[in-house]
Amino acid sequence: MKNFKKPFYHFSIDDVIDSLLEVSDSSNDFLSHYFFKFLDTIHYKYDANVDLYCFYQKKTGNELRTLNDVSDRHKEIFINNTWLHLGPHALDYESAPYAQTPDQQMKTFDSIYREIQRFSGNPSKCEFLRLHFFSESYELAGYFQTKKVHSLFTTDKPAITHRMNDTIRSDLVSHGYANFNEIRFIHSHFRVETLIEKNFSNSDIENLLKHHLSTHGFVIFLTHECELKNPEIQRIIEFILSYLKKHKVLSV
């Protein structure tokens, strides 16, 4: 893939909002929170960069919480830890970007970018985005260029792509990426929780990584914020990152 020296990998976490609200509501140290503590650990041990894709809002019972409720008192932590990137995912769990008009999507993403700027000191550091439910918002290519986003991730499911044509699907299968409507799409290879569901052994995971690296020269994997509470998810992420570091696969 152009612009990146192979081999490389990208790790990201979808559906993020709870952890940001929890560290804001708590008087405890930022890195004492299990979520950010784990991210700090994997960066320190494996030189991992992490993209966090954020919802704007979440309803809990009768209470609606938004990124506007996230405190800016941890701004220096975000500024100083340049390996931690924040970007938009969707309005909320129920609202897929693909179900919104382009104007509605831009309004949602602008709200998320504005809050990220406020509490982290940066509008966004994400050059890649995975939109909720793998929305393929190629109509927003020009908008994303203004945000310095050059690539959107497509689904890890067998469909490969939901809205683009067979030529693009073929390129995604063969090369792992394709350009469409002046924006790059990259195939998401797997989510960590699926490896548990399929009862993958360490050897199976190594073979999976070898396959994607030999086929595409890179590996794209993800998990979800709620999954980080599971010690087995954390163990597998560390196993993957240890393998990638050992084999000199760089984090982007």
Give the position of tokens 């975000």: 78
SS3 177: strand
- What domains does the chain contain, in order, with CATH numbers? 8-251 (3.20.20.370)
Q: What is the pLDDT of residue 2?
A: 56
pLDDT digits (tens, 9 = 90+) for 14-68: 999 999 999 999 999 999 999 999 999 999 999 999 999 999 999 988 999 999 9
Instruction: Let me know how long the chain is.
Output: 252
pLDDT at residue 125 in the model: 84
Tell me the average pLDDT of the chain: 97
Residue 208 pLDDT level (bands cut at 50, 70, 90): very high
pTM for the model stands at: 0.97
Average pLDDT over residues 99-118: 98
- For tokens 């932590």, what's the residue? 77
Question: Which long-range contacts link 154-159 to residues 24+ away (Cβ below 8 Å)?
Answer: 154/185, 154/186, 154/187, 154/188, 155/188, 156/187, 156/188, 156/189, 156/190, 156/191, 156/194, 156/222
Better-predicted residue by pLDDT, 125 or 180: 180
